[in-house]
């Protein structure tokens, strides 16, 4: 019990709220179907990396074998990288083939190393049949290269990006994954990822895939 209070107290102090109020808010807005143990695991990971769940730097997705998988958005990965004391800049090199995006190389400079950490990601290995990949393949490939380079450079562990979590979430802005879709949820077309968070609706595909993930988890239990 003391561990739960401590983890919540750390996060509550950061946002200047009472631990009990924070718990109530997390359950009401972000993780209404989460167990106390799942909530604790999520809070511990968010605290460890200093990520804000309310600005969607980190959220949760149902794990394949139960529990939750902490998922970090690209904004969260950028925050992790920029806040690291040894981070000394990043460069990208994009390559096209026959006029189409082929690969992106991310090169992270680390203050304590004489050589930069370099990672190349290829479109053929990363692209998904989702709207962001169709409309902005170079941007998405750059995100993938950034994430993998940051992980290799600084040893970030225990967290995944949206696609690694297995959800294949197609909405440009991730939703809290423990909010079960209802019949009143509007069905809209997938939209480009050029809108603001206030303007981006959630795609039907994202809702269907989330519902399927929850159903699969319930069947295992």
pLDDT digits (tens, 9 = 90+) for 68-83: 788 999 999 999 999 9
CB-based contact 60:76 (threshold 8 Å): no
Q: Where are the alpha helices (DSSP H) in 32-73?
A: 36-49
What rounded mean pLDDT belongs to the chain? 77
Going by the DSSP 8-state scheme, the letter that residue 160 receives in this structure is: B
Q: What are the DSSP E strand ranges found in the chain?
A: 58-62, 68-72, 87-97, 100-110, 117-122
Q: Is the pLDDT of residue 46 over 60?
A: yes
- Lowest mean pLDDT, pick from 104-108, 139-143, 181-185: 181-185
The pair of structure tokens assigned to 146 is 């950034």
Ranked by mean pLDDT, which of 52-61, 64-73, 165-174 comes out on top?
52-61
| Position 210 confidence tier, pLDDT thresholds 50, 70, 90 | very low
Mean pLDDT confidence for 99-127: 96
Give the mean pLDDT of 155-176: 62
Q: Which residues pair with 160 in a beta bridge?
A: 71
pLDDT digits (tens, 9 = 90+) for 195-209: 333 333 333 344 444
The pLDDT score that the predictor gives to residue 221 is 57
50 versus 38: which is more confidently predicted?
A: 50
Contacts of 108 (CB under 8 A, 6+ apart): 81, 87, 89, 90, 116, 117, 118, 149, 150, 153
Residue 62 has pLDDT above 60, yes or no: yes
């Amino acid at each position: 019990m003391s561990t739960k209070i401590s983890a919540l107290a750390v996060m509550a102090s950061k946002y200047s709220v009472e631990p009990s109020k924070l718990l109530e808010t997390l359950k009401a807005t972000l993780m209404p179907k989460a167990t106390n143990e799942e909530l604790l695991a999520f809070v511990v990971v968010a605290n460890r990396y200093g990520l804000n769940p309310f600005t969607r730097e980190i959220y949760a997705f149902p794990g394949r074998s139960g529990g939750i998988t902490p998922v970090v958005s690209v904004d969260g990965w950028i925050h992790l990288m920029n806040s690291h004391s040894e981070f000394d800049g990043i460069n990208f090199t994009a390559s096209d083939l026959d006029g189409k995006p082929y690969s992106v190389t991310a090169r992270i400079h680390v203050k304590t190393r004489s050589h930069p950490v370099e990672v190349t990601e290829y479109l053929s290995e990363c692209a998904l049949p989702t709207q962001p990949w169709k409309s902005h393949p170079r941007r998405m490939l750059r995100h993938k290269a950034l994430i993998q380079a940051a992980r290799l450079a600084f040893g970030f562990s225990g967290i995944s990006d949206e696609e690694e979590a297995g959800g294949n979430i197609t909405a440009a802005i991730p939703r809290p994954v423990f909010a079960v879709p209802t019949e009143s949820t509007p069905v809209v077309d997938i939209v480009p990822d050029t809108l603001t968070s206030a303007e981006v609706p959630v795609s039907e595909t994202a809702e269907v895939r989330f519902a399927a993930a929850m159903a699969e988890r319930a069947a295992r239990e």
